[in-house]
Amino acid sequence: PAGPAGPAGSAQPAAPTPEGGTCEPEATGIETRRALLRRYWPVALLIAALLVGTALVARQPEPGLPLSPASAGPGGTKALVEILRGVGATVEVVDRVPRDGPSENGPDTLLVLVNNLPDPEPLRSFVRDGGTLVIATGSAAVADLRPVGSTAFGFVDSPLARDCDLPALAEAGRVRAPGGVVYEPPAGAVGCYPRAGGSWLIATPSGTGTEIVLGGAAALTNGVIGSADNAVLAMALLAPEDGTRVAVVGPDLRTDAAGNDGQGLLDLLSRSVRLALLQLGIAFLVVVAWRARRLGRPVGEAQQVQLEGSELVTAVGNLLQQTRARRRASQLLRDDLRQGLVQRLGLARDASAEQIGGAASDRTTLPADDVVAALTGPVEPDDAQLVALAQRVEDVRRAVATPPSSPGGVRVR
């Protein structure tokens, strides 16, 4: 049943529970926490997936410089040096291009892991003197090569087939070269291991020697040289005969600022770092699209009018309902009605119920007995009688407040 109205209004108290009290606030807190979990669990799942993906893709920093002949990490080339020495080659790691060529007791084969030399003339001279120059990464010294694609087949770095007639590569049928590029073979050159309209290996004769340019040094690193026929390819290019003298120019070759080969900051980032940044960018866009404001037609929303003292009235009604103080509620309703009628009708504060009923009947269409019944009401009402009393008090108050000239006087029910 509805509760009584207090002196400042007629707000209804909250419905009681079967035990006679209102609902506990803990239920609302539990529902709020559940709503928050349902709302934010996709974000938490996305963050967890990003962390797991980054941990799987990212790699630990390798000891030493990448491609360094002294590094035993996956990106080093120490295994290449050991393989060449194992087949009888004399390997020397140098920090600059040797001045002596093959005809002057210099190396027979020169491997440049990263060609960032500002002046290619020493390399050209080495080739003209009959040496074999192998450039793993960087610009060619003799040929003018144009990259036309990559070794990746979609998102997969599959092995490359030889598909050329160079006798030295007869045993190296397949090569795995992840992250490499392919070049368009120029006139007079031989291209091997083709893909995407280009070749990963370009052999260009010059003078009495040969320049061999690879589309990347990854095939010669410790982590990849054991794949496919990579080791066979390295031996065929660098040490085709027992006793071959090989000079390896490491990646820490000191050059001036002009030899940076146009590399920028992004070129220095590893593939795993770029993938992690891409994942973060995609996650940011997903969160923005999910949480962005949807601009649409404005919808009008009527604001509730806050009445002064309405919270107090509601609180008093709830307290009376929880304590089942029906007698106290009935007394408050009658006293409030008596005070309002005495002030409006101009009667004494100690006027009897009959005097107030007669005065109200003279000025309105209300019967005097109905006003007296509202003022005297049941002293110990039940829930139904308390609701009926509250309705009767409201009808009397409304009828007395209506001017006599206004049509439609209120009939007390």
- Containing 360, the helix (H) or strand (E) segment is helix 353-363
Reading the block at residue 247, the tokens are: 């000079």
Predicted TM-score of the model (pTM)? 0.49
CA–CA gap between residue 341 and residue 337 (Å, rounded) = 6
Residue 199 pairs with which residues in a beta bridge? 183, 194
Helices then strands, counting H and E runs in the chain, come out as 11, 11
Q: What distance separates the 2 farthest-apart alpha carbons in the chain?
A: 139
CA–CA gap between residue 163 and residue 145 (Å, rounded) = 19
CA–CA gap between residue 265 and residue 280 (Å, rounded) = 19
CA–CA gap between residue 13 and residue 88 (Å, rounded) = 99
Nearest to 400 by CA among 364, 367, 375: 364
pLDDT number for residue 404 = 61
**In contact, 90 and 248? CB cutoff 8 Å:** no
**In contact, 151 and 177? CB cutoff 8 Å:** yes
Contacts with 208 (C-beta within 8 Å, 6 or more apart), sequence order: 128, 129, 130
Is 283 strand, coil or helix? Answer: helix
Cα–Cα distances in angstroms (integers) from residue 301 to residues 294, 298, 304, 305, in the given order: 17, 9, 9, 12
Q: Match 């660098």 to its residue by tokens.
A: 238
Contacts with 262 (C-beta within 8 Å, 6 or more apart), sequence order: none
pLDDT number for residue 235 = 92
CA–CA gap between residue 307 and residue 43 (Å, rounded) = 42
pLDDT number for residue 96 = 79
Nearest to 240 by CA among 108, 140, 124: 108
CA–CA gap between residue 74 and residue 388 (Å, rounded) = 89
CA–CA gap between residue 333 and residue 389 (Å, rounded) = 8
CA–CA gap between residue 316 and residue 124 (Å, rounded) = 100
pLDDT number for residue 203 = 92
Single-letter amino acid code for the residue at 129: D
**In contact, 67 and 77? CB cutoff 8 Å:** yes
pLDDT number for residue 18 = 45
List the chain residues with pLDDT less than 50: 1-25, 253-262, 406-413
pLDDT number for residue 276 = 84
**Cα-flanking dihedrals φ and ψ of residue 45, to 5°?**
-65, -40
The total number of residues written for the chain in this structure: 413
CA–CA gap between residue 171 and residue 236 (Å, rounded) = 8
Residue 245 pairs with which residues in a beta bridge? 90
**In contact, 93 and 112? CB cutoff 8 Å:** no
Q: Is the dihedral of CA 71, 74, 80, 86 positive or negative?
A: positive
pLDDT number for residue 261 = 46
CB neighbour class for 188 (10 Å; exposed up to 12, middle 13-18, buried from 19): exposed
CA–CA gap between residue 305 and residue 309 (Å, rounded) = 12
CA–CA gap between residue 385 and residue 378 (Å, rounded) = 7
pLDDT digits (tens, 9 = 90+) for 182-195: 999 988 889 999 98
**In contact, 245 and 109? CB cutoff 8 Å:** yes
> Secondary structure of the chain: what % helix, strand, coil (to 5)?
40, 15, 45
- Give 173's DSSP letter: -
pLDDT number for residue 64 = 64
